Amino acid sequence: MRFYTFVLKNILRRRVRSALTVIGMAVAVGAVVALVGISRGFERSFLAIYQREKVDLIIQQRGVKQKLTSVLDAGLGKKIAEVPGVKTVNSGLVDFTSMDELGPVGVLVQGWEVDSPMMRHLNILTGGRPLEASDKNCLLLGERLALSLDKKVGDTLKVFDDATYTVRGIFKSNTVYENGGMVVPLADLQRFMGRRGQVSGFTVTVDQPDHKAEVERIRHAIEALGKNLEVTPTIDFVNSTQEIVFIRAMAWITSAVALVIGAVGMLNTMVMSVFERTREIGILRAIGWGRWRVIRMILMESMVLSLAGGAVGAAGAVLLTRVLSNQPAVSGMIDSYVAPDVIAQGFLIALCVGLLGAAYPAYRGAQLLPTEALRHE
């Protein structure tokens, strides 16, 4: 009998225990893949919003922990545009609002100038159009939000303390947040938030984005316009966003708990396996098996169980993420795409947990003397 066949038969002899071990590992790996995948989706979607417009620098109020609470004078945009090397400046205001149709989940609301390049670059679906200066109480809906609300171009809905707005267009975006959000004229959002003449921040594109020294010069020049200005490259801004940092930390903390449970389950399974097979291991030692071969056998059994659990857990996590992303309550908040590197990370963690859980049982099995093991009842 081949070595690997022998290992597989050992696993299949105890089907119930092996199945329970695989399920425990699947839960642990599924937690890692799902939670880390969702947190990566948050980060990826935020970054994609700025990458679409090729934003190089983001300007907000210095010292604020919550980026949405940043307050800057809208008139500052003209001064920023005068800095040599600045190509475009776009101002914006961001908020989350609740809608009765969607329950407690907040909807992303972006306030832009109607002549903003960001407004012109929206992919408006057939039948709609971008907002214009003459529009009153009009807005644009993301494709997913429009589907959740069952709205089409020309329909009305109540937002901002029951104010009635007309849907002028429905846009499709590559980012889950924009698809699940809405765009309104900047002045309307300023009025609703009580922040007339104020914006959350500015996005800046430069003439030479690939020239790092030039971008750094522009960054310092903009910061010199006011003591309360914080100018950050796009990637650094997304990575330092408090919401992203919190979600990332919570994902790993929760995953760590699941991994500990998975490791304990694997340890219990392998310890019991070694204990029940003490006599068998003694016979194997007596016919010539060395300690390293016994260790390999036990570790291999653990790796097979871990990989099986990893496969089940990763598949379940991908399916769960897709199901959740299609739920109206969280549509626009969860990206259904799970990156391959997150799945690979889940498998790697499964192997590490499996080897960790089997380390002591393998050592214990290898230390058994043939004479003592053969006397075991």
Q: Which two tokens stand for residue 191?
A: 């009025």
What residues of the chain score a pLDDT lower than 70? 1, 67-68, 100-105, 162, 174, 242-243, 327-335, 370-377
Model pLDDT, residue 374:
59
The full DSSP string for 345-374 is HHHHHHHHHHHHHHHHHHHHHHT--HHHHH
Model pLDDT, residue 327:
67
- Please tell me the distance from the alpha carbon of residue 228 to that of residue 220, in angstroms, as a whole number: 13
* Amino acid in position 277: R
The full DSSP string for 278-306 is HHHHHHHHHTT--HHHHHHHHHHHHHHHH
Model pLDDT, residue 27:
85
Model pLDDT, residue 275:
77
- Please tell me the distance from the alpha carbon of residue 126 to that of residue 83, in angstroms, as a whole number: 39
How many residues are there in the chain? 377
Model pLDDT, residue 33:
85
Geometric angle at alpha carbon 238, from 191 and 232, rounded to 5°? 85
- Give whole-number Cα distances, 347 to 7, 26, 299, in Å: 20, 10, 16
The full DSSP string for 61-76 is ETT-SSGGG--EETTH
Name the nearest CA neighbour of 24 among 248, 268, 210.
268
**Token pair 């889940």 is at which residue?**
346
Dump pLDDT digits (tens) for 228-274: 888 888 888 777 776 677 777 777 787 788 778 777 877 787 777 77
Name the nearest CA neighbour of 128 among 101, 149, 146, 112.
146
**Token pair 């800057």 is at which residue?**
72
pLDDT above 90 covers what percent of the chain? 2
- Please tell me the distance from the alpha carbon of residue 284 to that of residue 293, in angstroms, as a whole number: 10
CB atoms within 10 A of CB 213: 8
- Structural domain boundaries in the chain: 3-45+244-375, 63-227
Model pLDDT, residue 159:
82
Helices (H) and strands (E) counted in the chain, each on its own, are 14, 12
Helical spans, DSSP H, in 59-131? 76-81, 117-120
- Please tell me the distance from the alpha carbon of residue 71 to that of residue 337, in angstroms, as a whole number: 33
DSSP strand pairing (201-206 vs 138-142): unpaired
Model pLDDT, residue 170:
92
* Model-wide pTM > 0.85: no
Q: Which two tokens stand for residue 279?
A: 């006599």
DSSP strand pairing (182-185 vs 103-112): parallel
Model pLDDT, residue 102:
62
